C-alpha cells in the first residue's frame, strides 16, 4: 500500500493481527534509548548475531510489526530476501514511552502467540526493562521487571550481562 501511495512517505505504519497501526513520531527519550540499545547490541554481539533497528519481523501473513530492535540469528545474508521470523529472532525489543499499553497488550500477545522466545520492553516512564521469556499461547511463562542497578543477559548469550542503566537516559 505504501508503494501505491495509500500512505504518504512520512507515514509509518505496522501490520499487527491484520490491522494497520500508525507508528507515532519518536520523542528524544525514545530515540536516545533506541540508540543506546543498538550501540550495546552492536558492541556485544557483533559477529554472533545480526542487529536490526526499526525494521519488520514477519510473525505471519497478518502481522509484520516493526520492533525497535531485534537480535537475529546469523548469517545476515538470509535477511536480504526476507524479514526475520520468530524462529530466527533471538530477542525482540520495544522501547516504550507512550506505547506501553500496546507493547504490553496486543504486541506481547502477538509475539508470544508466534513463539518469539524472548521479548524485552524498555519502559522509559518507569525506568525499567520488562523481560518476558517462554512463550505459552498468548502470554509468557516468565516475566521479570528489572530497574536501575540491575542487569540482564539475553537467553541466547547468557554470559553477556547488560546493566539496565545502559539502556535508559541518564538519571535526573
Q: Which of 99, 119, 122, 120 shows the shortest CA–CA distance to 35?
A: 122
Kindly indicate the confidence band of residue 41, based on its pLDDT and cuts at 50, 70 and 90.
very high
Mean predicted confidence (pLDDT) in 111-135: 97
- Asked if 116 contacts 60 with a C-beta cutoff of 8 angstroms, the reply is no
- Asked if 111 contacts 135 with a C-beta cutoff of 8 angstroms, the reply is yes
Q: What is the pLDDT of residue 172?
A: 73
Range of the domain at 60: 13-166
Is 3 part of a structural domain of the chain?
Answer: no
Is 131 part of a structural domain of the chain?
Answer: yes
CA 10 to chain centroid:
22
Is 140 part of a structural domain of the chain?
Answer: yes
Q: What is the pLDDT of residue 132?
A: 98
Q: Give alpha helix (H) positions in the chain.
A: 28-45, 100-104, 106-113
Is 115 part of a structural domain of the chain?
Answer: yes
For the record, the C-alpha cell of 56 comes out as 519488520
Q: What is the pLDDT of residue 1?
A: 44
Is 2 part of a structural domain of the chain?
Answer: no
Tell me the CATH number at 149.
3.90.1570.10
- Residues of the chain above pLDDT 70, percent: 86
Is 4 part of a structural domain of the chain?
Answer: no
Q: What is the pLDDT of residue 20?
A: 66
The neighbouring-strand residues paired with 63 are 60
Kindly indicate the confidence band of residue 13, based on its pLDDT and cuts at 50, 70 and 90.
low
Total domains in the fold of the chain = 1
Kindly indicate the confidence band of residue 16, based on its pLDDT and cuts at 50, 70 and 90.
low
Q: What is the pLDDT of residue 19?
A: 65
The per-residue pLDDT of the chain, averaged, comes to: 90
Is 6 part of a structural domain of the chain?
Answer: no
Positive or negative, the Cα torsion across 61, 72, 41, 38? negative
- Asked if 99 contacts 47 with a C-beta cutoff of 8 angstroms, the reply is no
Residue 166 sits at φ, ψ, to 5 deg, of -65, -20
Q: What is the pLDDT of residues 58-104, one digit of tens each?
A: 998 888 899 999 999 999 999 999 999 999 999 999 999 888 998 99
Kindly indicate the confidence band of residue 2, based on its pLDDT and cuts at 50, 70 and 90.
very low
- On the question of pLDDT at 3 being above 60, the answer is no
Is 83 part of a structural domain of the chain?
Answer: yes
The helix (run of H) or strand (run of E) holding residue 135 is strand 128-136
Indicate the SS3 state at residue 70: strand
Positive or negative, the Cα torsion across 5, 6, 12, 18? negative
Amino acid at each position: 500500500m505504501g508503494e501505491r501511495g495509500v500512505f504518504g512517505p512520512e507515514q509509518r505504519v505496522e501490520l499487527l493481527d491484520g490491522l494497520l497501526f500508525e507508528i507515532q513520531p519518536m520523542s528524544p527519550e525514545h530515540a536516545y534509548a533506541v540508540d543506546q540499545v543498538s550501540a550495546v547490541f552492536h558492541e556485544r554481539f557483533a559477529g554472533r548475531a545480526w542487529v536490526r533497528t526499526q525494521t519488520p519481523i514477519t510473525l505471519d501473513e497478518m502481522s509484520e510489526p516493526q520492533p525497535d530492535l531485534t537480535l537475529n540469528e546469523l548469517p545476515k545474508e538470509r535477511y536480504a530476501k526476507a524479514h526475520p521470523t520468530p524462529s530466527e529472532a533471538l530477542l525482540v525489543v520495544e522501547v516504550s514511552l507512550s506505547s506501553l499499553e500496546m507493547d504490553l497488550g496486543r504486541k506481547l500477545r502477538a509475539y508470544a502467540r508466534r513463539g518469539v522466545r524472548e521479548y524485552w520492553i524498555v519502559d522509559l516512564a518507569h525506568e525499567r526493562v520488562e523481560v518476558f521469556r517462554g512463550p505459552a499461547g498468548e502470554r509468557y511463562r516468565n516475566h521479570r521487571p528489572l530497574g536501575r542497578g540491575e542487569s540482564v543477559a539475553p537467553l541466547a548469550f547468557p554470559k553477556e550481562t547488560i546493566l539496565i542503566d545502559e539502556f535508559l537516559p541518564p538519571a535526573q
